């Protein structure tokens, strides 16, 4: 088997493990695929391996690690002119940035993904981007402490009692 086919087989096997929630095994296979694609100079497969590593680490909750791999994926997608992969990289980067509370960076990533998807006519992907942007743009519900709630309730009760005493 040639090295290119071997790398692609490892990547596909990693995707199968990833879909089964077996993230560690998937990461091991994606790493092997990455080494092969770098060894043979296949930038496209290198980018895909990096994307899969980013998604696996995102699934594990290791968001900073995911961000590192996804940024490398983005760099390669731009370098080789793969706009579809660039849009995917921006969107997945947005997901990871959101998890580490970098909301303004995540918004920017989603907007970049949306712009690319619009240019390519990928309406379903544009809608995914719009949904993510809308979700992040919503005002956050203030967290009310238990003590604050009871203090508010006591004030309300005093007001109601005072009103009825009139």
Has residue 72 got a pLDDT over 60? Answer: yes
- What are the structure tokens assigned to 68, written together? 């590192």
pLDDT in tens, 99-150: 999 999 999 999 999 999 999 998 889 999 999 999 988 876 665 566 677 7
Say which range, 24-33, 44-53, 58-67, 156-165, has the weakest mean pLDDT: 156-165
Q: Rounded mean pLDDT of 2-18?
A: 95
Distances (CA, A) of 59 to 19, 46, 121, 122: 10, 20, 29, 25
Q: Averaged over 5-24, what is the pLDDT?
A: 95
Q: How far apart are CA 47 and CA 70, in angstroms?
A: 9
Residues 6+ apart with CB under 8 A from 111: 129, 133
Q: Is the pLDDT of residue 20 over 90?
A: yes
3-139, CATH topology level: 1.25.40
Per-residue pLDDT, 42: 96
Q: Residue 4: is its pLDDT beyond 60?
A: yes
Residue 157: the pLDDT is 82
Measured in degrees and rounded to the nearest 5, phi and psi for residue 102 equal: -105, 65
Residue 101 φ then ψ, to 5°: 60, 30
In this prediction, residue 144 carries a pLDDT of 58
How high is the mean pLDDT of the chain?
91
Record the pTM. 0.81
Whether the Cβ atoms of residue 96 and residue 70 lie closer than 8 Å to each other: yes
Written as six digits, the tokens of 28 are 């091991």
Q: Give the span between the Cα atoms of 166 and 162, in whole angstroms.
A: 7
Residue 38 near residue 5 (C-beta atoms within 8 A)? no
Q: What is the mean pLDDT of residues 95-99?
A: 95
The answer to whether the beta carbons of residues 90 and 67 sit under 8 Å apart is: no
What mean pLDDT is predicted for residues 8-35? 96
CA angle 30, 32, 33 (to 5 degrees): 60
Q: CA 55 to CA 93: how far, in whole Å?
A: 9
DSSP state of 2: -
Q: If you compute the radius of gyration of the chain from its CA atoms, what whole number of angstroms results?
A: 23
């Amino acid at each position: 088997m040639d090295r290119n086919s071997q790398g692609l087989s490892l990547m596909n096997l990693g995707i199968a493990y990833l879909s089964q929630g077996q993230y560690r095994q998937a990461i091991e296979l994606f790493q092997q695929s990455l080494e092969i694609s770098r060894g043979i100079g296949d930038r496209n497969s290198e980018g895909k391996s990096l994307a899969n590593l980013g998604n696996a680490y995102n699934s594990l909750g290791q968001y900073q690690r995911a961000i590192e791999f996804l940024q490398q994926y983005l760099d390669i997608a731009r370098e080789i002119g793969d706009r579809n992969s660039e849009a995917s990289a921006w969107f997945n980067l947005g997901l990871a940035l959101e998890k580490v509370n970098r909301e303004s960076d995540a918004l920017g990533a989603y907007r970049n993904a949306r712009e690319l998807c619009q240019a390519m006519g990928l309406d379903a992907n544009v809608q995914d981007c719009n949904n993510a942007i809308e979700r992040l743009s919503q005002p956050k519900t203030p967290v009310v402490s238990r003590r604050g709630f009871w203090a508010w309730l006591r004030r309300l009760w005093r007001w109601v009692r005072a009103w009825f005493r009139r």
